[in-house]
Amino acid sequence: MKKSIKEKAISTAMNQAIKFISGNPKENLPKLLKWADEFDRSGTWESQRKIFHEVIENPDNNWNKYIMNLFEDVDNDILKTIFKNFIVNASMIGYPKQRELEKKHNCNIPWAILMDPTSACNLHCTGCWAAEYGNKLNMSYETLDNIINQANELAAYFFLYSGGEPLVRKKDIIKLCEAHSDCQFAAFTNGTLIDEEFADELLRVKNFVPVISVEGFEEATDFRRGNGVFAKVEKAMKILKEKKIPFGISCCYTSKNVDVIGSEEYFDQMINWGAKFCWFFTYMPVGKKAVPELMVTAQQRQFMYERVNKFRETKPLFTLDFWNDGAHSEGCVAGGRRYLHINANGDIEPCAFIHYSDSNIKDKTLLETLQSPLFQAYRKGQPFNHNHLRPCPLLDNPGALTQAVEQSGAHSTDLQNPEEVKDLSDKCKEAADKWAVVAEHIWEQSQCSKCKGCQYGENICNDNNCKESNCNEISNSDEPANQ
């Protein structure tokens, strides 16, 4: 998708801005904010500017420290590239266009695409569905390249790889980075294939960020991933840190490791390793060989919710919690609402954890898929619950996924052990019922005084200055919540 003159002007201005900041961030960031205040005459970015003022003008602010650390710890050219591709292209330019395309095509338009170059993996982790898929599924370079081109036409410029182990396809991944220098790439990887040579390639292309899977400390990581894996992962992180290549950590918390994952010791360790962000996931019993006993209890999930939010105020580490951050994303982000998943067979799925599809990239375009019955069922059902701490149609809302799959005629994408959607949903029902009680209490406590008890129709907040999640949007909505 070609950029308009206005978008090109924004891109140029932002590129100049990051160059200006890089010279002396402490001195130049406040100057840039002053320029942004004068530039944003319409007030489009007023709330964002206010947040940045609070951060930048207070040297003791946790996020002030985080930003300054980025300029110290990350290669300057990589930082500029991430700013250009992720902040400018994917967010400032891409996001508004995606909202326009949603109205035009009457379907969700994703901000990010998650895709699996291969089902092959050099590990066999306990409870991982990818381990059941075998190593024979691969999307060709041409297919991956075509997906990226189609996504660009939908104004999407952010791509993540998963698998299998995506770095089995190192050469193709680097080649795609070269071919799409205006896009930002990342990969969920076990980290064991990261070496000096690959790190040097990352320094060269500049638009790829590894997201390394770690299950805590050595005992927990090796328990799930195999003996010696933790040592290899630490070596990989050391290489990346020394070369000033930014990386994040992907962390799956289970009933067995949640106390460690949520500990201050572990958060400090991630920072010491050099990670700049952590993406938390909870264990999902996907696949016939899944281990439901690894699912967290409602109390353990609440523990992670509280710990992540606490450490956001005190630790210079950007964190995301895929389920517990539903309040920030206004519910479920899958089904193309913010992202979708394409597996190594080309099946296009609503979510990495939802292995059902009615479309394949070999037969349909991305846009045709987003207009397909399954993705339209997601769009109609979202946010799936008025309580955004219960965003998931599988984990949090019993029956919602079953209904979407059955009504759309979608099929299981697990080629070796197809799983009936009702059987999968049944494994989550007890956890969903117990979490509902806890989540409702947290949601009640988190709402402002005018919104407590609000069910999208009762005691609606009309305070235009309200800072609570969705107040104004809810009050202006004509649509009832999905109960």
Pairing of strands 356-357, 112-115: unpaired
The reply to whether 47 and 136 lie within a common domain is no
- Among 62, 88, 114, residue at a domain's last position: 88
Q: Does the pLDDT at position 51 exceed 60?
A: yes
Place of tokens 């944003």: 40
The reply to whether 169 and 295 lie within a common domain is yes
Among 207-216, 361-370, 472-481, which is the least confidently predicted range?
Answer: 472-481
Among 44-53, 96-105, 143-152, 468-477, which is the least confidently predicted range?
Answer: 468-477
What per-residue confidence (pLDDT) applies to 49?
A: 82
CA-to-CA distance for 64 and 54, rounded, in angstroms? Answer: 9
The reply to whether 66 and 124 lie within a common domain is no
Per-residue pLDDT tens for 359-371?
A: 999 999 999 999 9
Place of tokens 């050469």: 171
**Span 412-439, mean pLDDT?**
94
- Count the domains in the chain: 2
| Residues 250, 352 contacting (CB under 8 angstroms) | no
- Among 56, 88, 120, residue at a domain's last position: 88
What per-residue confidence (pLDDT) applies to 132?
A: 53
Among 55-64, 140-149, 442-451, which is the least confidently predicted range?
Answer: 442-451
Q: Does the pLDDT at position 409 exceed 70?
A: yes
Categorize the per-residue pLDDT at 11 as very low, low, confident or very high, splitting at 50, 70 and 90.
Answer: low
**Span 422-439, mean pLDDT?**
97
**Position with higher pLDDT, 218 vs 167:** 167
Q: Which residues contact 197 (CB under 8 A, 6 or more apart)?
A: none
Q: Which residues contact 412 (CB under 8 A, 6 or more apart)?
A: 355, 356, 418, 419, 420, 421
The reply to whether 281 and 372 lie within a common domain is yes
The reply to whether 165 and 220 lie within a common domain is yes
The reply to whether 113 and 180 lie within a common domain is yes
Per-residue pLDDT tens for 282-325?
A: 999 998 888 899 999 999 999 999 999 999 999 999 999 999 99
Give strand pairing partners of 115.
Answer: 161, 342
Among 15-24, 66-75, 187-196, which is the least confidently predicted range?
Answer: 15-24
Task: Give the mean pLDDT of the chain.
Answer: 88
**Position with higher pLDDT, 475 vs 418:** 418
Residue 395 lies in a domain: no
Q: Does the pLDDT at position 247 exceed 80?
A: yes
The reply to whether 73 and 160 lie within a common domain is no
Residue 99 lies in a domain: no
Residue 216 lies in a domain: yes
What per-residue confidence (pLDDT) applies to 260?
A: 94
Categorize the per-residue pLDDT at 128 as very low, low, confident or very high, splitting at 50, 70 and 90.
Answer: low
Residue 116 lies in a domain: yes
What per-residue confidence (pLDDT) applies to 463?
A: 40
What per-residue confidence (pLDDT) applies to 30?
A: 84
What per-residue confidence (pLDDT) applies to 32?
A: 77
| Residues 137, 71 contacting (CB under 8 angstroms) | no
The reply to whether 38 and 128 lie within a common domain is no
Categorize the per-residue pLDDT at 20 as very low, low, confident or very high, splitting at 50, 70 and 90.
Answer: low
Residue 177 lies in a domain: yes
Q: Does the pLDDT at position 482 exceed 50?
A: no
CA-to-CA distance for 369 and 197, rounded, in angstroms? Answer: 38
- Among 88, 116, 151, residue at a domain's last position: 88
**Span 362-389, mean pLDDT?**
97
Per-residue pLDDT tens for 260-273?
A: 999 999 999 999 99
What per-residue confidence (pLDDT) applies to 416?
A: 79
**Span 212-217, mean pLDDT?**
90
Tell me the residue range of the domain where 29 lies.
Answer: 5-88
What per-residue confidence (pLDDT) applies to 46?
A: 82
Give the CATH number, domain containing residue 135: 3.20.20.70
The reply to whether 245 and 329 lie within a common domain is yes
Q: Which H, E and C letters describe the chain, residue by residue? A: CCCCHHHHHHHHHHHHHHHHHHHCHHHHHHHHHHHHHHHCCCCCCHHHHHHHHHHHCCCCCHHHHHHHHHHHHCCHHHHHHHHHHHHHHHHHHHHHHHHHHHHHHCCCCCCEEEECCECCCCCCCCCCHHHHCCCCCECCHHHHHHHHHHHHHCCCCEEEECCCCHHHHHHHHHHHHHHCCCCEEEEEECCCCCCHHHHHHHHHHCCEEEEEECCCCHHHHHHHHCCCHHHHHHHHHHHHHHCCCCCEEEEEECCCCHHHHCCHHHHHHHHHHCCCEEEEEECCCCCCCCCHHHCCCHHHHHHHHHHHHHHCCCCCCEEEECCCCHHHHCCCCCCCCCEEEECCCCEEECECCECEECCECCCCCHHHHHCCHHHHHHHHHCCCCCCCCCCCCCCCCCCHHHHHHHHHCCEECCCCCCCCHHHHHHHHHHHHHHHHHHHHHHHHHHCCCCCCCCCCCCCCCCCCCCCCCCHHHHHCCCCCCCC
Q: Does the pLDDT at position 133 exceed 70?
A: no
Tokens representing 378 are 């997601």
Residue 201 lies in a domain: yes
Q: Does the pLDDT at position 430 exceed 80?
A: yes
Most confidently modeled range among 47-56, 203-212, 447-456, 473-482: 203-212
Per-residue pLDDT tens for 323-337?
A: 999 999 999 999 999
**Span 244-262, mean pLDDT?**
95
The reply to whether 191 and 79 lie within a common domain is no
Per-residue pLDDT tens for 91-107?
A: 989 999 999 999 999 99
Nearest alpha-carbon partner for 148 in 117, 108, 120, 127? 117
Q: Does the pLDDT at position 112 exceed 50?
A: yes
Q: Which residues contact 124 (CB under 8 A, 6 or more apart)?
A: 131, 226
Residue 243 lies in a domain: yes
The reply to whether 13 and 112 lie within a common domain is no
The reply to whether 221 and 350 lie within a common domain is yes
What per-residue confidence (pLDDT) applies to 396?
A: 97
Residue 438 lies in a domain: no
